[in-house]
């Protein structure tokens, strides 16, 4: 039984069913996940991730966890800059796909964000890129992230958010009608990409997400919009 299945006793039935659905989605899309991201975002996700990684200051001695790290694209970028990174993701299939194209030796751990396999106050920085919305309980995951960070440790999150009003109607139409069709053509999984769009639509806006991060205990919580608010970097610090 996997770590994910072992969490059943700690979750409601609805949470467990959601976690199974999410796990199944990423099993389906793993073989073409990175390619599909290029099609969906016209390659701009690479620009966002490049900016995100450059936004993260670190020392060579820092231990960085990339949560929901999937195929390891953020981890590779950080490691190329000299970082010590551990990828944590419940999707074994996603991590296996990353190993096929990754020449760097990345440490992968299969675990969920709501139950991280690290001691209290043991991690210097934790990053997550387009993954916090896929947690069964975002609030529980944020509290768990806070627990494992050292005092003064920082949380960096790159996620889709609420775009500015002038482009919002066009963005919503694109998400609703174009991306599921791209999912069918490129990845052969329209249902999986329909879930991903629904998760983006339900995700809190910038100010709501800031409040959730603060509610988990973080201080100095800020955010920075990218591409007119389509994506956003959220930052929080654990009190010293």
pLDDT digits (tens, 9 = 90+) for 30-71: 666 676 677 677 778 889 999 999 999 999 999 999 999 988
- The answer to whether residue 223 scores a pLDDT higher than 90 is yes
Assess contact for 94 and 30: CB atoms under 8 A. yes
Average pLDDT estimate for 109-119: 95
Q: What's the domain range around 141?
A: 3-237
pTM: 0.84
What CATH number is associated with residue 221? Answer: 3.40.50.150
Burial class (CB in 10 A: 0-12, 13-18, 19+), 41: middle
Q: How confident is the model at residue 13 (pLDDT cuts 50, 70, 90)?
A: very low
The structural domain count of the chain equals 1
The residue among 102 and 155 whose pLDDT is bigger is 155
The predicted structure's pLDDT at residue 97? 83
| Closest by CA position to 114, among listed 100, 87, 134 | 134
Which tokens hold the place of 18?
Answer: 């959601």
The SS3 call for residue 86 is strand
The residue among 59 and 9 whose pLDDT is bigger is 59
Q: How confident is the model at residue 3 (pLDDT cuts 50, 70, 90)?
A: very low
């Amino acid at each position: 039984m996997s770590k994910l299945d072992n969490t059943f006793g700690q979750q409601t039935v609805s949470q467990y069913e959601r976690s199974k659905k999410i796990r199944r989605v990423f099993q389906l899309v793993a073989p073409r996940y990175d390619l599909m991201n290029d099609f969906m975002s016209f390659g701009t996700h690479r620009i966002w991730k490049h900016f995100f990684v450059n936004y993260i200051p670190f020392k060579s001695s820092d231990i960085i966890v990339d949560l929901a790290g999937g195929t390891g694209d953020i981890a590779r970028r950080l490691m190329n800059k000299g970082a010590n990174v551990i990828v944590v993701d419940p999707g074994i299939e996603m991590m296996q796909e990353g190993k096929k194209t990754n020449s760097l030796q990345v440490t992968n751990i299969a675990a969920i964000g709501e139950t991280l396999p690290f001691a209290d106050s043991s991690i210097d920085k934790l990053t997550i890129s387009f993954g916090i919305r896929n947690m069964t309980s975002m609030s529980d995951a944020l509290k768990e992230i806070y627990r494992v960070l050292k005092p003064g440790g920082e949380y960096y999150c790159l996620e889709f958010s609420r775009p500015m009003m002038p482009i919002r109607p066009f963005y919503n139409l694109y998400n609703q009608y174009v991306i599921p069709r791209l999912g069918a053509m490129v990845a052969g999984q329209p249902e999986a990409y329909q879930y991903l769009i629904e998760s983006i639509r339900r995700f809190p806006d910038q100010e709501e997400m800031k409040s959730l991060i603060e509610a988990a205990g973080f201080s100095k919580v800020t955010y920075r919009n990218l591409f007119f608010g389509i994506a956003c970097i959220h930052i929080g610090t654990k009190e010293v």
